[in-house]
Amino acid sequence: MPTHDAEAASEDARRWRVQSQRDRAILGAVSAGYVVIRDQHILEVNDILCRLLGFTVEELLGARAPWPFWPPEGYEIAERLLQEVPVTVDSTRRPYTFEMPLMRKDGGRFIAEITTASAREPDGQLIGYVCTVSDITSHRDYEAELQRLADQDPLTGLANRRVFEQRLEQEMADAVRHDRQLAVAILDLDHFKCVNDRFGHPTGDRALQETARRLGLVQRKGDTLARVGGEEFAWILSDVHSHGAWAAVERARQAISEAPFDDIGTLTISIGVSLRGDVRGPAEIYERADRALYRAKHEGRNRSILWRNL
């Protein structure tokens, strides 16, 4: 007959199996991927994590870091987090959430949001670090699209006035800090009201889009080109002196006038340019470029004017 100790051990084993099955059922109902880690070993995962990563339970259980879902290009970040996160969780006694790229078995990457907390026995002994894992790539893509829409002029796809003003402030600060030159150009299509009046606003809108396209072709890499008004554009030319700025805006002016626009014919553009020089801030350099533009309009249009104490 089984002894009392044997019966107790058998009952403990049965309870452990029941509890393990119950825990697995609970883990299977969790809506996010779930992994338990201790001593850099994976102790437990749920089916959702396996489906998310494309690995089987057997391929993940017992795996030691670096884990197969770490992308090779992210090893340094992952290893740093592996060291930092437990310290943060244990010191704050609160879950810690962070984001990092993970890799599926087929090599595909996604952005994961990971929340880590420590699980402990009643006596304080560590059971493991419990991590929930969610794929937030689509959420990040949606946020990026919202940001893009907030930053872009909806008609031309160029930066809008708000972004232009932010960039100008940043560029001016950098130019002053590093003692670099900077130019701002304001470009305005000539007689554009007549285009809208004669051909209609849809044709005028297409002309603005074509203007943006042509200006984009002559824009220098790293510069900021924006639509800041109806038919008015603004251009920040970084690290440029007067001759370089003049040559750039002349290319832009010629790009507009050298070929006719569909349904309209030839259009021209007037441009005012200001260099950083002794200006005291973004507002002043923009104002000087605007005054130079006014002079270009006043002197007959289809020309570029550099502000020189006008």
Rounded percentage of the chain residues whose pLDDT exceeds 70: 88
- pLDDT of 181 higher than 60: yes
Q: What does the pLDDT read at residue 8?
A: 55
Q: What does the pLDDT read at residue 249?
A: 96
Q: What does the pLDDT read at residue 138?
A: 82
Mean pLDDT within 220-239: 94
- pLDDT of 9 higher than 80: no
Q: What residue type is assigned to position 132 of the chain?
A: T
Q: What does the pLDDT read at residue 140?
A: 76
Q: Which helix (H) or strand (E) holds 182?
A: strand 182-189
Query: In Å, how far from its chain's centre is CA 300?
Result: 43
Identify the structural domains of the chain with CATH numbers, from first to last.
31-141 (3.30.450.20), 152-306 (3.30.70.270)
CA distances to 125, 221, 284 from 179, in Å: 59, 20, 18
Residues near 238 by beta carbon (within 8 Å), at least 6 away in sequence: 171, 175, 180, 182, 222, 223
Mean pLDDT within 127-134: 91
How would DSSP label each residue in 231-279? SEEEEEEES--HHHHHHHHHHHHHHHHSSPBTTTB---EEEEEEE-TT-
Q: Is 111 helix (H, G, I), strand (E, B) or coil?
A: strand
Q: Which two tokens stand for residue 201?
A: 């606003």
Q: What does the pLDDT read at residue 15?
A: 57
Catalytic residue among 84, 145, 231, 299: 231
- Average pLDDT in the chain: 88
- Span 50-79, pLDDT tens digits: 999 999 999 999 999 899 999 998 888 888
- Span 95-104, pLDDT tens digits: 999 999 999 9
Whether the bond between 282 and the residue before it is cis, its omega within 30 degrees of 0, is no
Query: Three-state secondary structure along 3-44?
Result: CHHHHHHHHHHHHHHHHHHHHHHHHHHCCCEEEEEECCEEEE
| Closest to 238 (Cα-Cα) out of 182, 170, 277 | 182
Question: Is 171 an active-site residue?
Answer: no
